[in-house]
């Protein structure tokens, strides 16, 4: 059966070039880079090269730090709990954190946990486009505010948040600024000489690298305490033997995806627009967020009267992978949490379907998806109107 993968905001296919680059580190080059013998010494240049690719991709000076973590969830936990240990515990008069209501659960749940430890958190809500306004963030700052944590781009809607503006506001007001850039790397330009952030989260599997490896950029002077105590790896910042093959994979994957930024914003955007134009013509559909402010690969569409999950299963039967939102919530078949935050119309939350493309998506796959999606919408609408009719008669 034909298979089409349109869930690239959940995870992406490993770039074949990255796989080839990683292979030797599962075979002959298996040394521990902290060992003093040749096995350890010989892997170090490759690690340095990979780290260099990441600094270059982010345009960050190497006087700043890139901490390697196991995933974005760990990076987000490290920033929020690190700020708690370093700043809030030592100076409880600064115990306020600002975030948006539509962050990934790795931010929201960590902040709920910190609330239990006395941290005050403001969750700034979004407008009907799923957009966070910099003015609302600014208005939430008080004398107690220590940190603002706002994602660069949202995983559900693809909305790109006003990171430049908020970073300037944070600097002016003497507040630390963290951005979860998981959905931004390889989709929008992330240049840390232009946008000043103190902490930035990323995850390799969102840009065609391996799963189980991520990073946290830390600006010089904004160091956080170590949360994983043990050996002296990562300059004592995070103990544990380095995941050499995966770091090397992440470095090349980041270089590759940032190198394909133009393709993402031309070819992939054109495919996304073609798909969006076609499916938004169907009756009673709403696409969340205006295109100009969205990442070029994402559509979040609601088909009034059709359960998101029903559509998902129809697509899945035809080999098309989409989602009703974040895979992190899919086990509980929740309503889409971002759609709920956008509010107003609770039906939106139950009817949302997210389609997210990658630079490996083909025109043929998009044509096939338009065809299947249209037929599925017609089929499901006919069932729901039959049901409504039966109910009325009954």
151 forms part of the interface with ligand 7TS (CB under 6 A): yes
Pairwise CA distance, residues 71 & 213, whole Å: 5
Q: With CA atoms as reference, report the closest residue to 338 among 8, 4, 9.
A: 9
106 forms part of the interface with ligand 7TS (CB under 6 A): yes
Q: How far is the CB of 69 from ligand 7TS (least distance, A)?
A: 9
Q: How far is the CB of 70 from ligand 7TS (least distance, A)?
A: 8
99 forms part of the interface with ligand 7TS (CB under 6 A): no
User: Tokens 């559900």 map to which residue?
Assistant: 156
Pairwise CA distance, residues 206 & 9, whole Å: 7
Pick the stretch among 38-46, 127-135, 300-308, 321-329 that binds ligand 7TS (CB under 6 A): 321-329
180 forms part of the interface with ligand 7TS (CB under 6 A): yes
Pairwise CA distance, residues 59 & 126, whole Å: 30
Question: Please, what is the Cα angle at 155 between 250 and 51, to 5 degrees?
Answer: 15
Pairwise CA distance, residues 249 & 18, whole Å: 5
DSSP-assigned states of every residue in 236-279: GTS-S---HHHHHHHHHHHHHHHHTHHHIIIIIHHHHHHHHHHH
Question: Contacting ligand 7TS (CB under 6 A), which of 43, 66, 72, 355?
Answer: 72
Candidates 47, 234, 278, 328; catalytic one: 328
Sign of CA dihedral 82, 84, 85, 90: positive
Q: How far is the CB of 41 from ligand 7TS (least distance, A)?
A: 31
> Which residues on neighbouring strands pair with residue 69, listed in sequence order?
214
- Burial group, residue 144, by CB count within 10 angstroms (0-12, 13-18, 19+): middle
314 forms part of the interface with ligand 7TS (CB under 6 A): no
Pick the stretch among 14-22, 301-309, 325-333, 358-366 that binds ligand 7TS (CB under 6 A): 325-333
Q: How far is the CB of 206 from ligand 7TS (least distance, A)?
A: 7
104 forms part of the interface with ligand 7TS (CB under 6 A): yes
Q: Would you say 139 or 333 has its CB closer to ligand 7TS?
A: 333
Q: Is 328 part of the annotated catalytic residue set?
A: yes
14 forms part of the interface with ligand 7TS (CB under 6 A): no
Question: Contacting ligand 7TS (CB under 6 A), which of 183, 298, 336, 351?
Answer: 183
Give rounded-to-5 percent helix, strand, coil for the chain.
45, 15, 40
155 forms part of the interface with ligand 7TS (CB under 6 A): yes
Question: Contacting ligand 7TS (CB under 6 A), which of 95, 100, 203, 297?
Answer: 203
Q: Which residues bind ligand 7TS (CB under 6 A)?
A: 9-10, 71-73, 104, 106, 151, 155, 180, 182-183, 203, 214, 326-328
State the catalytic residues: 328
């Amino acid at each position: 059966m034909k298979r089409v993968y349109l869930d690239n905001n959940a995870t992406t296919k490993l770039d074949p070039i990255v796989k080839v680059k990683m292979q030797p580190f599962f075979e002959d080059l298996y040394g521990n880079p902290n060992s003093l013998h040749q096995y350890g010494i010989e892997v170090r240049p490759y690690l340095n090269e990979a780290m260099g690719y990441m600094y270059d991709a982010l345009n960050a000076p190497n006087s700043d730090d890139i901490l390697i973590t196991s995933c974005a969830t760990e990076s987000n936990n490290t920033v929020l709990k690190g700020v708690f240990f370093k700043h809030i515990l030592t100076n409880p008069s600064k115990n306020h954190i600002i975030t948006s209501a539509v962050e990934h659960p790795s931010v929201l749940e960590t902040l709920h946990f910190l609330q239990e430890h006395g941290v005050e958190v403001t969750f700034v809500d979004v407008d009907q486009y799923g957009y966070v306004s910099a003015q609302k963030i600014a208005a939430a700052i008080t004398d107690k505010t220590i940190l603002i944590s706002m994602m660069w781009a949202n995983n559900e809607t693809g909305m790109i948040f006003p990171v430049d503006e908020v970073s300037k506001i944070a600097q002016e007001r003497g507040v630390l600024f963290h951005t979860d850039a998981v959905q931004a790397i390889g989709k929008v330009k992330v240049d840390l000489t232009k946008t000043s952030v103190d902490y930035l989260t990323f995850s390799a599997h969102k840009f065609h690298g391996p799963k189980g490896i991520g990073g946290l950029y830390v600006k010089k002077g904004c160091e956080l305490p170590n949360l994983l105590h043990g050996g002296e790896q990562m300059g004592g910042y995070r103990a544990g033997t380095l995941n050499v093959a995966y770091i090397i994979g992440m470095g090349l994957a980041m270089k590759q995806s940032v190198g394909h930024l133009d393709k993402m914003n031309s070819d992939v955007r054109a495919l996304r627009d073609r798909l969006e134009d076609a499916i938004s013509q169907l009756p009673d559909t709403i696409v969340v967020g205006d295109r100009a402010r969205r990442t070029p690969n994402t559509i979040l569409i609601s088909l009034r009267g059709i359960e998101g999950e029903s559509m998902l299963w129809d697509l899945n039967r035809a080999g098309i992978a989409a989602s009703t939102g974040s895979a992190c919530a899919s086990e509980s078949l929740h309503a889409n949490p971002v759609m709920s935050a956008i509010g107003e119309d609770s039906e939106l939350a139950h009817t949302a379907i997210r389609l997210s493309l990658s630079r490996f998506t083909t025109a043929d796959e998009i044509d096939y998806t338009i065809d299947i999606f249209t037929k599925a919408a017609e089929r499901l609408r006919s069932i729901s109107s039959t049901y409504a009719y039966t109910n009325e008669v009954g």
